[in-house]
Amino acid sequence: GQQVMQIPQYQHVQEGEDFTTYCNSSTTLSNIQWYKQRPGGHPVFLIQLVKSGEVKKQKRLTFQFGEAKKNSSLHITATQTTDVGTYFCASRGLSNDYKLSFGAGTTVTVRA
Amino acid sequence: GAGVSQSPSNKVTEKGKDVELRCDPISGHTALYWYRQSLGQGLEFLIYFQGNSAPDKSGLPSDRFSAERTGGSVSTLTIQRTQQEDSAVYLCASSQDRYGPQHFGDGTRLSIL
């Protein structure tokens, strides 16, 4: 199946600071989705990127899909305590449009 | 509610027993997925349904695992002769079609003693 690697695995952030988490693949992806899972909760869909070089923003969150469609990033500005959780990227390969392969996630903690 | 519903929310059982987990997807969603998530880990794909058929069962860990979906709606995941390594949270997700975002239920936390 499609493999995506997420880095870092853990991100400990001072409240108010910015950080970025990355999702990388060795093969071309048809699209990529991002999900957030709060502690004790279930994954919640955030966004889907489809086009090469696509950039989408949701308030303080900026999502980007690489030009080669092999990587993606999530950048959070001015981190708040509400940003705590695990962020997963999930991808579909070019030949398989139904199966999402999830990365291992980046777990974010915030110190006030 | 309009979300994905899973039951039971928690299940504790003895090793060797069979368990049945239920998922009620969002009405009208044709695609349904089962995942397994161990503590602090990512999501492990188990099986995908499109309507009532399961074109991809590749993620089922062993022949002790089976799943069915009836009427294009409710799905059950059955684990026979449970073992301790089956302990995990089992998540169900549905989507409007196979291309779209997935909507997850709260999961069933399964503990095998």
| Chain A residue closest in CA terms to B89 | A42
Residue A97: is its pLDDT beyond 70?
A: no
Q: How far, in Å, CA of A27 to CA of B56, rounded?
A: 21
Q: Which CATH superfamily is domain A5-111 in?
A: Immunoglobulins (2.60.40.10)
B5-112 CATH, one of 2.40.160.20, 3.40.350.10, 1.10.10.60, 2.60.40.10? 2.60.40.10
CB contact under 8 A, A98 and B48: yes
- The partner residues of A65 in beta bridges, in order of sequence, read A72
Residue among A72, A77, A83 nearest A34 (CA): A72
Confidence check: pLDDT of A1 > 60: no
CA–CA dist B71, B87 (Å, integer): 29
Among the partner-chain residues A43, A99, A107, the one whose CB lies closest to the CB of B48 is: A99
What is the average pLDDT score of chain B?
93
Model confidence over A3-32: pLDDT tens digits?
799 999 999 999 999 999 999 999 998 899
User: How does pLDDT run across B14-64, given as a tens digit for each residue?
Assistant: 999 999 999 999 999 999 999 999 987 889 999 999 888 887 888 899 999
Q: What is the pLDDT of residue B39?
A: 84
Q: What is the mean pLDDT of residues A50-59?
A: 97
Partners of B102 on chain A (C-beta within 8 Å) are 33, 43, 45, 100
Q: Where does the pLDDT of residue B2 fall: very low under 50, low under 70, confident under 90, or very high at 90 and above?
A: confident
Which chain A residue lies closest to B56 (C-alpha atoms)? A99
Contact between A4 and A101 under an 8 Å Cβ cutoff? The reply is yes
Q: Given an 8 Å threshold on Cβ–Cβ distance, is A43 in contact with B42? A: no
Q: Which residue of A has its CA nearest to B49?
A: A98
Q: Across the interface, which of B40, B99, B104 has its CB nearest the CB of A43?
A: B104
